[in-house]
Structure 1
């Protein structure tokens, strides 16, 4: 470490931040939000801290307590996710992008369910989305919490990917695939 630091500071005349600099295995360190896998053929992955920051920001944008129309919420999400994906598309982890997509849609289903408020409205909305009346009544009168209902088979099928595509939500995974091909 001292030898390399000396070379960088004396020969290259660059300043080394000793607090951030360290000598360690690549998969134990993060660099500009990225890290590496510890396999024989290492791959670039998104660092854990970057994932936590993403989830925190999406949590703010999809907060149930914030009363924003869904169209504006989706617009803000799309703006943030476009930039985030543009930066992190270098990572070799498509499964993470699929995972984030699923998590975002679940958060949006949770918000939609809360906005429907009363059991009467929920039953009416579910019927309007093509759910059989007996199932709409069963789920519309459920006492389960928002997060649990958001992953229920009934909401998962009715508020599916095509529903969110029609509302304007862009898939993070599709953006990732597009950026990887270009």
Structure 2
């Protein structure tokens, strides 16, 4: 993914792309959160991982047992607060807007 982001940003760096990069990053973060939620298939795993991320017992139980779709949960407040952008960066995900700011500067 890092190669894709760096190549794409370097190719289009002459254009004004800040708004486009922001939209792409929002979509990409939602897809990453959706993938992570999908990877936690069982209710027990979802509960344990939410507890590890600092969610209280009641909220972790409520969200781990939900029947809402992956895309809906990926855009929910619980995953936006627990799987923050900084945590995703720490794991190793590269976002296009961050790289775009370093290339332009």
Q: Do they fold alike, i.e. is TM over 0.5?
A: yes
Runs of 4 or more off by more than 6 Å in structure 1?
Answer: none
Instruction: Please say if 1:156 is aligned against 2:80.
Output: yes
The match for 1:129 is: 53
Secondary structure of the residue aligned to 1:142 is coil
Name the TM-score, length of structure 2 as normaliser: 0.95
Distance 2:71 2:14 in 1: 32
Runs of 5+ consecutive residues of structure 1 not aligned to the other structure: 1-76
Secondary structure of the residue aligned to 2:14 is coil
Instruction: Please say if 1:79 is aligned against 2:15.
Output: no
Structure with the bigger RCO (C-alpha within 8 Å, sep 6+) is 2
> Once the 2 structures are TM-superposed, how far is the Cα of residue 171 of structure 1 from its aligned partner?
2.0
> Once the 2 structures are TM-superposed, how far is the Cα of residue 127 of structure 1 from its aligned partner?
0.4
Distance 1:98 1:79 in 2: 19
Q: Number of paired residues? A: 105
- Of 59, 63, 66, the residue aligned with 1:139 is 63
> Once the 2 structures are TM-superposed, how far is the Cα of residue 143 of structure 1 from its aligned partner?
0.3
Instruction: Please say if 1:97 is aligned against 2:21.
Output: yes
Distance 1:94 1:134 in 2: 39
Q: Which has the larger radius of gyration?
A: 1
Q: Which protein is richer in helix relative to its size?
A: 2
Aligned-residue CA RMSD (Å): 0.9
